[in-house]
Amino acid sequence: MSLTYRYLNNISNNFGDSFYLLNSEKFGKNFDEFLSLFSAIYPKTNIGYSYKTNYTPALCKIVDEKNGYAEVVSDMEYALAIKIGVNPKKIIVNGPCKTKENLEKFLLSGSIVNLDSHSEILLVKEISRQHPSRLFSVGLRCNFKINNSLISRFGFDVESDDFDGIFDEISNIKNVRLEGIHCHFPNRDLGSYECRINKIIDLSKTLFKAPPKYIDIGGGFFGKMRDSLKSQFNIPTVEYDEYASLIATKFQEEYKEYSYEEKPMLLLEPGSAIVADTMCFVAKVIDIKNIRGRNIATSTGSKFNMGLLTSKVNMPMSVYSSNPSRKYFEKIDVVGFTCIESDCLYSEYSGNVGVGDYVVFENIGSYSIVFKPQFIMPNVPVIECSQNFEEYKVRKRQETAEDVFSTFVF
């Protein structure tokens, strides 16, 4: 069965005119498919799911049940992982802002901690002195030039003159061991991945006498999407198997002479790649007007519900209606409820649209629900839809005014 106006209207009558639709079963399948393509070539591979992309607990729990890692960049996300039962040793801690208190907690719990700056090394020194009987392990986030002009602000510049001194500084801390290296860049193209893989493998051979415990190559992978969305990117999109063929093959060739135990763990940190197509956003059209030739359909949603990408592209949109006599528009802008002029959910849509219709936007699972500000209206509920679109389950309730204002002092 497919999505219908009746199904959407039933949810709307119970939970309001705007909501997210979640398909966690698809998320689990994406996780399995992504990992299996890599593991088939380089078996010692695992996924650290990027919580910041979409930290809906139901999704994070699926990752843990599949023996994946939680990749977090804040104490808030770390607390979520612990709350849903993730073993601290299955948590990868990244990010440029780690307090001493939190860093101490992460290290004492045995989590994988990738240091981002020299100030964090100084904190590790303090912590190690305060716990002389404990042996701590850390990793380094590495920054190097890839095939573009972007100068990333994260990690250690391994191509700088002082990097050798930084490495020696960590090596000289008696009860701290450097066990892995990490990198992450926002580039999604295969050429940039080939560059980062070559450089991080070469770096591992320079830093370590034997293969490190893990090599974490970060995320930034393309996910599944319709052709209409693919065509809006200025570079060719990449499929799961293409990433695996390049990356896993490089690792297999490099470490083929080592036993499984000796090989480094290849850690991948996908977020968008496995979660983007598992969530839709639904809004209701409440008015249609024409202002000096511009057709405008006002909806109960906002671009702020839909994430970063919507400011650059039109996400795939479908219209569901109970009115067969709606008007056809050659070009109509579907806009949001906010008082921001640029709040446009879809620019120049062509098709039949009427008041009371539901507009459904696909590929909204990435950087959407986690980015919605408390601006004008509280955030909307997340509804888990069944495969047959007959049943549903609430994964996150509608936020209220009390939720928004509860932390203010009156």
pLDDT tens figures, 155-173: 999 999 999 999 899 999 9
pLDDT of residue 389: 67
In whole angstroms, give the CA distance from residue 378 to residue 329: 31
Domains 5-21+277-405 and 24-276 share a fold: no
Give the model's pLDDT for residue 281: 97
**What is the rounded average pLDDT for all residues in the chain?**
95
92-107 pLDDT per residue, tens: 999 999 999 999 999 9
Distances (CA, A) of 86 to 80, 89, 133, 272: 9, 8, 26, 21
- The confidence band for 210, taking pLDDT boundaries of 50, 70 and 90, is very high
CATH match of 24-276 with 3.20.20.10: yes
Mean pLDDT of the region 1-10: 88
Q: Region 33-60: what's the mean pLDDT?
A: 98
pLDDT at 390 over 90: no
| CATH architecture of residue range(s) 5-21+277-405 | Beta Barrel (2.40)
Q: Give the list of residues 6+ apart from residue 279 with CB closer than 8 angstroms, or none.
A: 20, 21, 22, 23, 54, 364, 365, 368, 369, 382
Alpha carbons 174 and 136: distance in angstroms, whole number: 10
Count the residues in the chain: 410
Which candidate, 61, 58, 51, places its Cα nearest to that of 86? 61
The per-type count for the chain, helices as H runs and strands as E runs, is 12, 18
- The domains of the chain are located at 5-21+277-405, 24-276
Position of tokens 């601290």? 88
Half-sphere exposure of 74 (CA within 13 A, CB side): 7
Q: Is the pLDDT of residue 1 over 80?
A: no
